[in-house]
Structure 1
Amino acid sequence: MTALSAPETTAAVRHWLRANASAIIATEADHTGPDLDPLIDRLASATVVGLGESTRFSRQTYGVRERILRALVLRHGFRALAIQDSARSGDRFDAYVRGGTGAPEDVLAQAWRPLRTSETIATMAWLRAYNIEHPHDPVSIFGVRPPDAESADYDAVLDHLRVAAPELVPAVEAHLTPIRTAHRMDEHVQRHRGVHPGRPFAEHARDAYAVLDGLPASPARDAALDHARVIVEFHENSVAGRGGFAGDELRSARRILERAAASRIVYWDGIAHISAIPVGVGRTDPDAFISTGSHLRARLDAGYVAVALGFHHGDLGTGRAPDPAPDLLDAELGHVDLDAYFVDPHAEAPDAVARRWREPAAMRVISGIYDESKDSEANMTVDALLDAFDVLVHIRETSPVEWLPE
């Protein structure tokens, strides 16, 4: 058979997409229509379902993601939600949805910044209501990251110094005050927006630790050092501290796998994290970003299913994303005349289309340092689309999530 030319292959792919796209009628989280049924059926047999979004700022991608979560909980016995947050924050989420401890706004006060939205509160409310109705079969929430530093750690360090060495408080406060701001806005985002005070936060954290370590040993000093150590680890392991987005994804995968022994899990994270194969993001060497999803696929095989939720253009709240560059998958998906849809790239397809899905692909990724004037740089790559994702969700136009006040 004669190979198709590049324009012929493109035309074949677009024709196949139009024929195989399943319309998503509504992106609101509380919609209960049957439009997602084929997608839910596709995910039903998995042990862990990764739902990855290309941006955390879209109300529509969040709504579809929650619709999938609700359906998997109600119909297929999924009983845990894994979120991109620390174990300490995840424990507070869990205490609320399972026991009603605290108020949602208080739970979110120290959560990772992208989670502090009205949409997250709605998720918490739905899970809490479900658990009230099913007290003997509840849904839990947990954070995939190790325990992160929080305000209480900074306070514990300063409180000890006020008793043990009050003359050192001003010097240590000078180190801790600027770096506490990273819990409201990530350090790398501060640098991007031009509001960073200058000195790397990890250096401030280490200097504060050294001051405390220089005091005479005592149980109280050692307890304060534990808090200071958590602060140092938080800043050293941040995106700015690491110098890139690639972190220790294996630890996140292990936390999920530990829970997967007892519960089927929906895993919410960014598209790069849930990819079932390693990815390249920005300046990150693809070999260095071994995603959480790739670890899960290696361990669970078909028991891990990855769903990529992307969009074509729209309002992100802090800026407007234009139409994607022509070489991005998002642009290809945008040729389907539907407001929102999903498609299974593993479905039967002509050879030319199947080959396209087995080839490398570039996909839009918009983070907290997005600059619409450099939109062409906001993407990630995978070596083979078919290996990276099991289902693709595409939304034509996005509007922003509703941020909670600081």
Structure 2
Amino acid sequence: MLFLETDWTIGMQLNEYLRTGKGDPQALLAATWGPLQTEEVLDALCWMRSYNIQNPGDTIRVFGEYLGAGHVQVSDEVANYVRINAPERLDEIETRYSFLRISGEIDKHFAWYSCQRNKQRFIDHARLAYQLIAKLPRNDGHELALQYARFILGFYEYEGFESLDLDHRMANNMIWWHENTGDKVVYWGGIAHTAKDSLLTTGRSAGSYLHEHFGSGYTSLGLTFHHGLGADYIPEPSAEFAEAFLGEVDLNAYLLNLNATQPDAVRACLNAPTKIRVIGPYYDLEKVRR
């Protein structure tokens, strides 16, 4: 199971592509944030689709972990569970979600909701819908419907109150999927979020919560590079950055096991404080120079 830092509903559509081949992965990636809009991510998704075709009994799934505003598809899935298992409650759940249902573009809904002075009424509708699902018969698909209802509630709670911890929510989402499926989980995201030690100035990272929960079962892999062309051109690093030292190796790509046994001099070098470049979705060279 692969988690990407994108909206949950986009993740659902990407997963449908991996499962059935339905949809255009390139078009779906165009709706994600900049770092995912690369040939490498597209190649990875196409490879996973090919793998699933060849291994129908051991397929890879992909999910988005952000509580984005595009929850129309999710609310439809919840309503469908009610329609099948408790049709007498269908009007109630549809009434709750009709109050929350987005109209128009997702970004405009996000901006509109952010400007609402009384967000509590939206949160109340989402919470009552969640509580309704929680009390329904636990038939096949109930846990997934409940998680979808939790997702919708989480969006309105998080966007309504900035003090809530987004990384904690992302970690809880991944833990839930692991516990309810037993699948191994790969979390592909920015190293400031995946690192076991918190690198964020805003609080703890998702990786720190995952390490706290799984212990040695969670391994963090840091990805970096020397220079190259992405959405912006990233120049060669200056000498004080670890990327300058790591880039001296005459290999296009390699893995470095920091936990392996090493000579004392190498271990001392690796244990010494250093700086790495943590590049987000945008890179402003002029700002870096200033």
TM-score, normalization by structure 2: 0.65
Shift in CA distance, 177/144, structure 1 to aligned 2, threshold 3 Å:
closer
Deviations 1:258-289 (A, max 9, x none): 23331112221111111111114xxx2xxx43
1:303 to 217, 223, 238: 217
How far the C-alpha of 1:205 sits from its partner, in A, is 3.0
2:18 to 59, 79, 97: 97
SS across alignment from 2:214: helix
How far the C-alpha of 1:317 sits from its partner, in A, is 3.8
Deviations 1:163-199 (A, max 9, x none): xxxxxxxxxx9xx8895398xxxxxxxxxxxxxxxxx
- Could you tell me which residue of structure 1 aligns to residue 140 of structure 2? none
2:227 to 294, 310, 313: 313
1:355 to 264, 268, 287: 268
- Is 2:191–2:223's contact at 8 Å kept on the other side of the alignment? yes
2:269 & 2:157 partners in 1: Cα distance? 42
Structure showing greater radius of gyration is 1
SS across alignment from 1:305: coil
- Could you tell me which residue of structure 1 aligns to residue 63 of structure 2? 142
- Is 1:274–1:291's contact at 8 Å kept on the other side of the alignment? yes
How far the C-alpha of 1:83 sits from its partner, in A, is 1.0
- Greater RCO between the two (CA within 8 Å, min separation 6)? 1
SS across alignment from 2:254: strand
Matched, 1:249 2:167: yes
1:102 & 1:252 partners in 2: Cα distance? 26
Shift in CA distance, 234/302, structure 1 to aligned 2, threshold 3 Å:
closer
User: What are the ranges of 5 or more consecutive residues in structure 1 without an aligned counterpart?
Assistant: 1-79, 154-172, 183-200, 214-218, 378-406
1:365 & 1:181 partners in 2: Cα distance? 31
Matched residue type, 1:180 = K
- Is 1:82–1:265's contact at 8 Å kept on the other side of the alignment? yes
- Is 1:313–1:321's contact at 8 Å kept on the other side of the alignment? yes
SS across alignment from 2:210: helix
- Is 1:205–1:231's contact at 8 Å kept on the other side of the alignment? no
- Could you tell me which residue of structure 2 aligns to residue 82 of structure 1? 3
- Is 1:253–1:293's contact at 8 Å kept on the other side of the alignment? yes
1:133 & 1:338 partners in 2: Cα distance? 32
Matched, 1:291 2:205: yes
Query: What pairs with 1:52-131 in structure 2 (closer than 5 Å)?
Result: 80-108=1-29, 110-131=31-52
Deviations 1:193-213 (A, max 9, x none): xxxxxxxx4xx53445769x7
- Could you tell me which residue of structure 2 aligns to residue 259 of structure 1? 177
- Could you tell me which residue of structure 1 aligns to residue 242 of structure 2? 329
Matched residue type, 2:279 = I
1:116 & 1:236 partners in 2: Cα distance? 29
TM-score, normalization by structure 1: 0.48
Shift in CA distance, 349/130, structure 1 to aligned 2, threshold 3 Å:
closer
1:343 & 1:292 partners in 2: Cα distance? 23
Shift in CA distance, 234/336, structure 1 to aligned 2, threshold 3 Å:
same
Shift in CA distance, 209/123, structure 1 to aligned 2, threshold 3 Å:
farther
Matched residue type, 1:263 = D
Shift in CA distance, 249/314, structure 1 to aligned 2, threshold 3 Å:
same
How far the C-alpha of 1:234 sits from its partner, in A, is 7.2
Matched residue type, 2:167 = E
1:233 & 1:266 partners in 2: Cα distance? 27
- Could you tell me which residue of structure 2 aligns to residue 205 of structure 1? 113
- Could you tell me which residue of structure 1 aligns to residue 197 of structure 2? 277
